[in-house]
Structure 1
C-alpha cells in the first residue's frame, strides 16, 4: 500500500488527464476539457453555480475571452434563453468565461444544454482577454497569440426567424443590458 501511495503522490498531470490529491471532488484520473460559456453559466449569472460547486463535476475558471469569429447571440424562446446561433461570420464577437471541466461536468453540461437536440457542442477558437489559471497541472494554456480552442454550445436547430432578433456581444440574464430577463428553472 505504501508503494501505491508513493506512486500516486508523484503523479502530477498528463496532457489530457489530471489528478489532484488535494481536491476531494477529483477521486481518479479525469479528462480536462476547455469550455467557453457566454450565457447563464457565466460568473454572476443564475446557473454559474453548476460550473464551480463540484456537485455535477469539477470545473475551474481560467479567465475570460471573446470569440475570434462573429456569431449571432440572441435571446429567444419562452424562457428568454441565450442562443449562440451556429452562423460563424455573422453577428458579433461574443464575450464569455473560459473553464476547464472534467468529463463528469462536461456530461452534465451536455444534458443541461440539451445536446445534441437543442444545442450542439463544437470547438471554436477563443482569444483570451484575461488569463488567471495558474495551475500548470491543468495543461490548458493559450498559445503565444493568446488563443485557445474551447468547446462552446451553439445551435444549428433554431427558428430562422431568430436571425431577425437583435444580436448581442455579451449576455446578462437579469436584463441589465436591455435584454429580456431569463426565466429561472430548476435543473436538479
Structure 2
C-alpha cells in the first residue's frame, strides 16, 4: 500500500464530502422539515434521500474513528472535535508518520478507499476518476488519472492509454 494512494483517497474525500452535504439541501431554498405523519412539509420539493444521509453518517463515523485510531497508534493526544473536512486535513498532515508503520498505512488506505467509493456511489458516479500530478512516462502528457474502483493508474490520452499501476 502506498502513501500516494492514501493521499489520493483523502483528497477525493475532501473534495466530494461537501457535495454529499449539498445533496441533502432542499432545492426550494427552504429548510427541510417533516410533518407529524411523515413526508416533507409543503414548500419543499426534495424528498429526504436516506441513502445520502446514511452515507454521510457512515463517512462521518468512519473518519472520526480513523482519526482517533491513527492518533492513538502514533501516540498523539486526542484531537478536538471538528467537521469531517478538517479531520481529513489533519489526517493528511500525518501521512508521513503513518507511512512509517506499514500496517497502519495499509489500514488507512483501505478505509479511505472504502469511504471514497461509498461517497462516489451515493453521488451517482459510475466510477470516480482523480487527476494526478506529473506526466505520463510513455507519452509525456499531463493525462495521468487514478481510477479508484479499478485501483488503477493510467494515462487517459487517447493516443497512449498506458496503464502505469494496477492492483493485483
**Shared fold by TM > 0.5?**
no
Higher radius of gyration, 1 or 2: 2
Choose between structure 1 and 2: higher helix proportion: 2
TM-score by length of 2: 0.24
**Higher RCO (CA-CA < 8 Å; seq separation 6+):** 1
- TM-score, normalised with respect to structure 1: 0.22
